[in-house]
Structure 1
Amino acid sequence: MTILAARVSEEPRVSLEDIRAAREALRGAIIRTPAVEAPKLSALSGAQIFIKYENMQATGSFKERGALNKLLSLDATQRERGVIAISAGNHAQAVAHHAARLGIPATIVMPEGTPFNKVGATEAFGAKVILYGESVAESRVAADRLIVDHGFTLVHPYDDPAVIAGQGTAALEFLEDCPDLDCLIVPIGGGGFISGVAIAAKALKPDIEIIGVEVESYPSTYAALRGRIAECGGATLAEGIAVKTPGGHTLPVMRDLVTDVVLVSESMVESAIFLLASLQKTVAEGASAAALAAVLSDRRRFHGRRIGLFQSGANIDSRVLAAIIIRGLERESKILSLRIQVDDRPGMLGELASELGRCGANILEVHHRRFYLYVPAKSTLVDIVIETKDARHAEEIIGKLRTHGFRVERLNASGGEPAPRME
């Protein structure tokens, strides 16, 4: 699909005054989230990092700002008829939550493959959920029919002036709390968030840089701004920004106000999620972590600069987060998986365990494997997972085991891009 096929809006662009009006409308209904420095991430990246915690909103993301501003713009007839949204994630929950607060009937159309936890969370806010199609684009077909049949008002996730104005309120707050920022790095899906942020920030501070981030598998805006056709598709940790087409309202704003759009790899997004959890003690979904991934992917570019990042959402699947944390600990050698060949005689497993104890390792898991044909008949394999202090401690343990006659092979050795380390 060519991104340049997106219809460009002829309506007047959202202004700073619109964003300020949205801020007044939202006052008291959403959280004014804190923005603070992140010293450990600053030391890691070489930049001075500040984070605004939009994950503290009731539904765990910035999406509430735009959704609520749109809902507040409806007239009495539109409120009575109800609203509809197409979303498989944060926008669905934001619309459902605030529609329920305002007494507005809400219908959310989600793809049939949407995870149960996201469907359940949206229903828990009181919305009617309809599962239709294999993608958000196919869900839009069902939503369009319902709009015709019932007169629902569409609350678009990004391509709507009221939504853009609402999202821009986050930038007003960020620059109030951190007025000396040199750059804001913002994840791009359809472009609603970065458009609102760019309009507000550039109006208040014309010399500030606005840099957008997309994942390599969904380079829709990156391609559009270069006059290219975007090839999008595939699974990604950053599903919140896995959008194939920027909006007609958002593309002109990004073309005029966004300094650059950069692409980040899946492995760097994974590393950023892990670092935010381990160093910053905050849970970030992939789309949110993409901004930190951009800094870590090009440290020279951002070195010494004051960088603002939005912790834009925390709604990551718990099982995915658990896997990322374990994988991150493996990459740092704080969890070590070893395959050890020992003589198959009484007491050898005890000797191995004792040696690991003397080395200061904590045993997490053990599997005894006697029947691999490539192992000598009088030997056995022990697959063992241990906890260590760090990479140096891990190497010391492996060395001591080998010195004591154990044949040791390391399993799950790091592949791809390793997590950045403290210098």
Structure 2
Amino acid sequence: MKYVDLFEKVREAKERISPYIHETPVEYSTTFSRRSGSDVFLKLENFQKTGSFKVRGAFNKLLSMMPKDRSKGVIAVSAGNHAQGVAYASSTLGIKSTIIMPETAPISKYLATRSYGANVILYGRFLHEGIEKANEIMRNTGSIFIHPYDDINVILGQATLGLELLSLSPDVVVVPIGGGGLISGISIALKAKLPNVKIIGVQTTASPSMKISKESGKLISVEPSFSVADGILVKNPSSLTFDIINELVDDIVLVNDEEISETIFLLAERSKVLVEGAGAASLAAIINNKISLPLNKSKVVSIISGGNIDMSLFTNIIGKMLYISKRVVKIKVIVPDKPGYLNRILSNVVKVRGNIIDIVHDRVSSDVPPGFTKIYVTFEVPSKENLNSFINDMNNEGIETKFVE
């Protein structure tokens, strides 16, 4: 196992970057432990500087460069977290940085990257397009490229996260995969000292390039589609991370956007933790039984890799999950267009302690008979029991009620 021999290099990276980063907390989750049947711990890298693990690799790479190379400035390509990590590390160390981000990058990540002093260029839709643009700029400027994952010094920086898990002696560590730099580093750090630990990677169904490559035994490019986990949409895995993952990673599983969105919601509500899609992917795999956990109660670590979620997306996810869980409902009734009917409906909402959000009258649609009105009522309801009571009360009054999905 050639890559575990890099363990001492990981220790050196830890010493190098420690003055610039946080050692993030590892917290036990009663909620997710009960749901999975194992002892689940959350490694909260969303509390890292710039909101993700990427700053570890950025600092280690920049601090490993010769002064003459730093003076040329650096350039990076990223959907957001690597961008922020390189921009922040460069600013801290007094290095000029240019960051190329996809045109689809969340506005929060774009603004954060600019705030760290980087020259930000929006170009293309995916990382591979941005890399082509970066090559063009480097030919003209001589800037040094900081790859998000295909660089051993970046990987060794990410590996320092694994060192922070050694004292816990986990049985299983679950890690999101985009290009594979994080899981490669964690695997090097952990497998060197805990050879029996299981390392499980998680990708989104929208971008399964590393899983397909591992199963095929060769690098395969897969064009990503849209996902709420924008931070792990990678078309082309690198040969470096592919080799490390083949050697050290036990399995790679997939989760979809519905599972990721539910996990974002649960982490916010139950753990009071704000995460982005990529950061929620590992826990999504655990609570949706995508991983074969040991029969005995085991220590399972979910790497919460980042918290830089776009607030508009977060709001949409919360709203959708409230609808799915029937804590916010939208009902449709067709009743005579006469005084008193709306009051009867709203009285039943109040009776079950519902909170009205919106009311809409529709008297002109083709399915509304003359002299009737269609009423949509959106309201919050405390529980399913309260909702069932509401439906029973409406039925007892002879008002047929339908849910609008």
What band does the TM-score fall into relative to the shorter chain?
over 0.9
In structure 2, what residue type is equivalent to 1:353? L
Q: Does the residue aligned with 2:215 lie in a helix, a strand or coil? A: coil
User: Aligned match of 2:34 in 43, 51, 55?
Assistant: 43
User: Aligned match of 1:133 in 98, 121, 124?
Assistant: 124
The equivalent residue for 1:220 is: 209
Output aligned runs, 1:66-215, within 5 Å. 66-176=57-167, 178-179=168-169, 181-215=170-204
CA contact under 8 A between 1:285 and 1:316: conserved in structure 2? yes
Cα distance between partner residues in 2 of 1:331 and 1:347: 31
The equivalent residue for 1:366 is: 359
CA contact under 8 A between 2:204 and 2:255: conserved in structure 1? yes
User: Aligned match of 1:311 in 304, 308, 314?
Assistant: 304
**Identical-pair percentage:** 38
Cα distance between partner residues in 1 of 2:55 and 2:121: 21
CA contact under 8 A between 1:46 and 1:299: conserved in structure 2? no
> Closer, same or farther in 2 for the Cα pair 1:375/1:326, shift >3 Å?
same
TM-aligned CA deviation for residue 230 of structure 1: 5.3
Deviations 1:362-396, CA, capped at 9 Å, x for gaps: 21211111212211212111111111122232122
Q: Does the residue aligned with 1:340 lie in a helix, a strand or coil? A: strand
> Closer, same or farther in 2 for the Cα pair 1:400/1:14, shift >3 Å?
farther
> Closer, same or farther in 2 for the Cα pair 1:292/1:116, shift >3 Å?
closer
Deviations 1:68-126, CA, capped at 9 Å, x for gaps: 11011111111111111011210001100110011000011123343433322211100
Deviations 1:188-246, CA, capped at 9 Å, x for gaps: 11110000000101111111000001111211111111117554321011111111121
Cα distance between partner residues in 2 of 1:188 and 1:125: 26
Cα distance between partner residues in 1 of 2:389 and 2:36: 28
Residue 317 (structure 2) pairs with residue 328 (structure 1): no
Where structure 1 has 5 or more consecutive residues not aligned to the other structure, the ranges are 1-10, 413-423
User: Aligned match of 1:378 in 366, 371, 377?
Assistant: 371
Q: Does the residue aligned with 1:59 lie in a helix, a strand or coil? A: helix
Taking only aligned residues, the RMSD between alpha carbons, in angstroms, comes to 1.7
Residue 291 (structure 2) pairs with residue 294 (structure 1): no
In structure 1, what residue type is equivalent to 2:182? F
CA contact under 8 A between 1:86 and 1:108: conserved in structure 2? yes
Cα distance between partner residues in 1 of 2:259 and 2:324: 13
CA contact under 8 A between 1:38 and 1:51: conserved in structure 2? yes
CA contact under 8 A between 2:107 and 2:310: conserved in structure 1? no
Q: Does the residue aligned with 1:185 lie in a helix, a strand or coil? A: strand
User: Aligned match of 1:254 in 224, 245, 256?
Assistant: 245
Moved over 6 A (4+): 11-14
TM-score, L = length of structure 1: 0.91
Q: Does the residue aligned with 1:189 lie in a helix, a strand or coil? A: coil
How many pairs are equivalent? 400
Cα distance between partner residues in 1 of 2:35 and 2:378: 28
